[in-house]
Each structure stands twice: as C-alpha cells, then as structure tokens.
Amino acid sequence: MKIIVLGAGVIGVTTAWQLLGDGHQVTVIERAGGPAQLTSLANAGLVAPGHAFAWASPGAPGMMLRSLWRGDQAIRFRPRLSVRQWAWVARFLGQCNGASARVNTARKARLCVYSQAMLDQVVAETGVRFDEKRGGLVYFYRTRASFEAAAAKCQILRDAGIAIEVLDRDATVAKDPGLAAARGEIAGSLFAATDASGDAHLFTVGLARKCAEGGVAFRYGEEVLDLRTRGREVTAVVTDRGDVAADAIVLCLGVMSPHLVERLGIRLLIYPVKGYSATLTITDRSLAPRLGGVDEQNLLAYCPMGERLRLTATAEIAGYSTGFRPADFRVMFDRARALFGGAADFGDPELWAGLRPMTPTGMPVIGRSPYANLWLNTGHGHMGWTMANGAARILADLVAGRPPAIDTEGMACEG
Ligand SMILES: Cc1cc2nc3c(=O)[nH]c(=O)nc-3n(C[C@H](O)[C@H](O)[C@H](O)COP(=O)(O)OP(=O)(O)OC[C@H]3O[C@@H](n4cnc5c(N)ncnc54)[C@H](O)[C@@H]3O)c2cc1C
C-alpha cells in the first residue's frame, strides 16, 4: 500500500519504520526542516516503564487548584478562554480517582514494557546510536510519607512485569553515587533496574536516515493543511504544495493532531502540557549522576546523555506557546544545583520548552479513525519516547489486519 505518515516526530518516524518493514511504500510529510524538531527535540530522555503512573490521580485536582496561587506545584493549571482546554480539563478531572488511575497506570505500563522491547529490537536491526544508557532509573523521594506511599503503590507496576526495587537512602546512593551530595535529603527511592535512557532526538534522526535508505520519502518543509474526503474515506492530503494521494494516511502530529481532523467530525481529546528542559555540559563526571532519574518531590527529571546532562521540569496546562523566559528555569536550576552543582556547567545551558500531547487518561490513541483509511497514532503525552516503538508496531499490525501482540484496550479513538 501507498501510505502517508503525517509528522516526523519520534512517533511518525517509528511508525514509518514499521510500515516500511511491512513492505509499504511510505511518504512522511513534515512542516519542519527535519525530524524531531517539535516535542521530540529535547525531552528528558527517560525510557521509563517504571514511571508509568497515570498523571490523572486523586492528588492531581488539589495540585491544579493550588497552582492557581502557588508556583511550586508539579501540575500547574493556567486557565484560558478555550473550549478545547476546558473540555480536556473536565475529562482529566473525571479520571482523577483511584479506580481510573489504577486502570490507566496498568494500561500504560503494559504498553511501555512492550515498547521498550520493540526499541531494543529496532536498535538491534538498525544500529542507531542515541547516547543510550542501560542499568536502571532512580525515582527518589524526599519525605518518609511520600516514599512509603510510593513503595505501596508500585505493586501495580510489578503486576505489569516491571521489576521495582524499594531502596533506602544508603542503597539509593550506592546505586547512583552521583546522588551523594543529596544524601541527607533522600528518604528512599524506587529503582527500576530495566528502565533506560537516551536522546530521543538523536534516535529519531538516526532512524529517519535508516528509513530514507530503505526507500521512505521524506517531504520536509511542507505543511499539512487539510484532508480531502469522499464519504468515509480520505482521498488526499492537502498541503501548502498541493494534494498528495495515498491508500492510507497515519496521523502523528502530536499536539496539532486534533486540529487537522476536527473538521471531519473526529474529536481527539489531546491538549498540550508544557515542560521545560535545559541541557548542560558535564564538567566533572565524578559528581554527575551515573543513571537517569526523577526527584519526585520537585518532578525534576535528570539524565546523563554522553557528555551532556539533560534536566526537565514542570507540567503546565497553559495552551500552545512554546516560549520561555529565564525565570521559568530558576526553580529547576536551584534544585539541580543542590543535587549536581559541581557536575556541569550551569553558566551556558541550552534551554527549551516542549508540549506533551496529553490525553486525559495518559493513553495514546492508536488505531483506525471513523474514516476507513485514516489511522491514528497520537497523544502519547509524557511518555512518547518510551511508548514510540511499541505504538508504531501496534499501528502497523492493525493496518496489516494482524492482531497486535498486546491488549489495546484504552487506545481506541472515541470520536
Ligand atoms: C519536558 C518534556 C519531557 C519529556 N520527557 C520524556 C521522557 O523522559 N520520556 C518519554 O518517554 N517521553 C518524554 N516526553 C514526551 C515525549 O517527548 C512526547 O510524547 C513525544 O515527543 C511526542 O512525539 P510526537 O511524534 O507525537 O510529537 P512531535 O515530536 O511533536 O511530532 C509531531 C510532528 O508533527 C509536525 N507537524 C505538526 N503540525 C504539522 C502540520 N500541519 N504539517 C506538517 N507537520 C506538522 C511537527 O512539526 C512535529 O515534528 C517529554 C516531553 C516533554 C515536553
């Protein structure tokens, strides 16, 4: 089949790779000048099935409410005059109960575990290099109460087959001596030995190169404007260069996905949740973290990537702007300096802000749309790098009419 993939983020490129492997003739249309230029550019890099907890949890509404007057909340709500935002928030709040959080976490964990296996397979097939680091990720807690609560709730991840170790302060620092400076601040951690990390941008660029060598046509610098339809079928993709026809189309436009299909009556509840990242040069390896991880109290993620240290923080439900000011990074840097002060050059960071394409449940939308030849692979939220290769394999299986290797419950398009 002739298939057009819309978007060359990590989701579009992994999808193109799997479709190519199935023998399809694949074209990718991307408005940026290359792959992984939007949300897949500078994320935290964590391949983190051990961090698959649903963000819509019983504690989230309180955080959102407090964030209206306090700047220190992990999830921040910035109300806008936007029907899209309020519709999303209403559905998100509807998921913030114990029962939904357990279901959503279990489903996310299943997809993440599968996806990590698919990532390994793709790396074995292609040899793509992306500053990969294996050996686990450390999720550490600063208070006894939060540590004990985490130790109790990690069973749900163990049930999904993820090996989680509960470590006290000393065992945490022994696992990663880069945390020694923060020893007195750490109550304990969850350690996921099979979690890993790597640069999603490097991976996507490398895989796009492999796709192109295999015959995938990349049309960069071309903006998708609309979809032409006849009945319940898409006949062409309308771009700023004209119409492009195909047998099937796969939507992988991240946060922009709902906008393209709205006119077709497809309602995708995907809304941007903004985060900030800073990339620093490591200057003293002995003080730098050996493994990636998360300071759970501050939701500060850190990840060594070769000679670089990537930091990310903040989840803002605030609209589509990717702009940032130095002040947006102040708290992140204060906390990171306290952890890894002498490890990296804080004087010349590379700053970035990105928009997580979040659904209310945290599960992506993968499968056929109400239009017979329009497929969806979008809405991977805060875990798109972790979920990408599994989501792509599932999408390719569905296109081929094969049953996917895992249960796809929770991934269907509702609109
Ligand atoms: C701060 C932060 C930290 C994160 N950390 C992690 C992490 O540690 N681990 C993890 O698993 N995930 C993480 N994520 C999430 C992950 O980065 C995303 O889920 C993932 O990048 C989404 O990929 P995507 O391909 O769907 O979207 P994108 O990468 O945004 O790709 C969509 C593409 O579509 C293109 N496009 C949009 N509109 C059009 C149009 N009209 N025409 C043509 N092209 C168009 C865009 O240019 C873009 O290239 C993080 C995200 C953020 C913001």
pLDDT digit string (tens) for 190-218? 999 999 999 999 999 999 999 999 999 99
> Distance, CA 371 to ligand 1 centroid (Å)?
24
Position 150 pLDDT exceeds 60? yes
Q: Is 362 in the pocket of ligand 1 (CB under 6 A)?
A: no
Give me the mean pLDDT over the 143-170 stretch. Answer: 96
Beta strand pairing call for 300-305 and 308-317: antiparallel
Q: How confident is the model at residue 73 (pLDDT cuts 50, 70, 90)?
A: confident
Judged by average pLDDT, the poorest of 13-22, 73-82, 89-98, 186-195 is 73-82
Q: What are phi and psi of 380, to 5 degrees?
A: -85, 0
Share of residues in the chain with pLDDT > 70 (%): 100
> Distance, CA 284 to ligand 1 centroid (Å)?
31
Q: Which atom of ligand 1 is nearest to the CA of 275?
A: 1
C-alpha distances out from residue 60 to 50, 92, 94, 356, Å: 19, 9, 11, 17
What pLDDT is attached to residue 252? 98
Q: How confident is the model at residue 415 (pLDDT cuts 50, 70, 90)?
A: low
Find tokens 């992988």 and name the residue.
Answer: 252
Q: Is the pTM of this model over 0.95?
A: yes
Cβ-based neighbours of 299, under 8 Å, separated by 6 or more: 74, 313, 314, 315
Give yes or no for a contact between 288 and 340, defined as CB atoms under 8 angstroms apart.
Answer: yes
> Distance, CA 258 to ligand 1 centroid (Å)?
14
Run of H or E residues at 8: none
What pLDDT is attached to residue 96? 97
Q: Is 386 in the pocket of ligand 1 (CB under 6 A)?
A: yes
Closest CA to 250 of 392, 353, 117, 103: 392
Q: Which atom of ligand 1 is nearest to the CA of 303?
A: 8
> Distance, CA 162 to ligand 1 centroid (Å)?
25
Helix axes 10-21, 384-400, angle to 10 degrees: 30
Position 94 pLDDT exceeds 90? yes
Neighbours of 323 (CB within 10 A): 7
Position 414 pLDDT exceeds 90? no
Protein residue with least CA distance to atom 50, ligand 1: 43
Give yes or no for a contact between 41 and 257, defined as CB atoms under 8 angstroms apart.
Answer: no
